[in-house]
Copies of this chain bind each other. A is one copy, B any other.
């Protein structure tokens, strides 16, 4: 099965797939400075909460990679701090971004007592590579837990892209589909196209097609009809941030899909690594929701599709309340309601910095 390398470390540099060019072109882009990484994240060339965490970690390393050997450790830390904060600002909703930046900063602080500049730099590269590797193993583990959870289901519906292209390799919501395929079971996947940026049409449909998984593309507003016709055994989506009570921020439209699933008695699952849980927030009301430019809606297809000057509301995410979620699939296992305790156990404590 062909799985794409969303983000990778190749010949001393980061290489990403430029996802804004999909599905027309599969372009690999080398990122060699921190500003380029900031813009790659902001402009969604690399996207998906886990993948932008990895990107931010490499971004932190790139920011200090050329720091002179004879410089002071304090200056190195200041440079890391400044560029980490800059990268953390590239998108506001996904917690993995801040999580990865904080992990890099924390690692640097641990190293200060015993290492010099070159040693710290090398260890920070190793830390970023570890985040990448953990993400690959995380996806595989989510896939195994999810494939078991979905054992009695033959078709799923997903929203946006929480597939391999949202992570290093396996994905989160699509990981069970890939693991099941390795085990000889082919799911049918209904993919919401996911307006305005069409991650479902451009990315989910693309990566499933590349992997030989049956995929049927629909517009977002067709999900209710597909469910009503009995075509959907389960809904499974990714997450950008999950609060202590299980409220889940994910791509705009997820909340509506969860309500539609409930109305049709279809189980609704969220697949996410433990790094997506943010125990600092008690409920979803505290999650900042990014609002994006009107032009994504009014002229997203290279052609103006709404009148000039029309008012637009364009939130990038919504929050699905915990009570609509039947289970979380994490790399450490499946969490079932009531969520509070299971989430605390999986995440293993409050402050991950």
Residues of chain A having any CB pair with chain B under 8 Å: 23-24, 159, 190, 192-196, 198, 201-202, 205-206, 209, 214-226, 228, 252-253, 255-257, 259-260, 262-263, 297-298, 300-315, 318
Smallest CB separation, A131 vs chain B (Å): 30
Chain B residues near A196 (CB-CB < 8 A):
219
Instruction: Identify which of B219, B224, B306, B311 contacts A255 (C-beta below 8 A).
Output: B224
**Cα-based distance from A202 to B310 in the complex (angstroms):** 11
Closest to A309 in B: B209
Known: A219-B195, A221-B195. A209 touches B310 (CB 8 A): yes
Interface centre among A24, A159, A313, A314 (most CB of B within 10 A): A313
Chain B residues near A222 (CB-CB < 8 A):
252-253, 313-315, 318
**Cα-based distance from A196 to B219 in the complex (angstroms):** 7
Closest to A23 in B: B307
Chain B residues near A311 (CB-CB < 8 A):
214-217
Instruction: Identify which of B192, B219, B259 contacts A224 (C-beta below 8 A).
Output: B259
Smallest CB separation, A227 vs chain B (Å): 9
Known: A260-B259, A311-B216. A205 touches B318 (CB 8 A): no
CB of A219 within 8 A of CB of B297, answer yes
Closest to A160 in B: B221
Task: Enumerate 21 A-B pairs (CB-CB under 8 Å) in ascending A order.
Answer: A23-B305, A23-B307, A24-B304, A159-B221, A192-B221, A201-B298, A206-B306, A209-B310, A215-B310, A217-B306, A219-B252, A220-B221, A221-B253, A221-B257, A222-B314, A222-B318, A224-B255, A225-B256, A256-B260, A301-B305, A302-B302
CB of B259 within 8 A of CB of A201, answer no
Looking at chain A's contact residues, is the secondary structure mostly helix, strand, loop, or mixed?
mixed
Instruction: Identify which of B223, B252, B255, B305 contacts A256 (C-beta below 8 A).
Output: B223
Smallest CB separation, A195 vs chain B (Å): 4
**Cα-based distance from A263 to B312 in the complex (angstroms):** 24
Closest to A22 in B: B307
Instruction: Identify which of B214, B303, B307 contacts A301 (C-beta below 8 A).
Output: B303
Chain B residues near A253 (CB-CB < 8 A):
219-222, 224
CB of B252 within 8 A of CB of A315, answer no
Chain B residues near A260 (CB-CB < 8 A):
256, 259-260
CB of B256 within 8 A of CB of A202, answer no
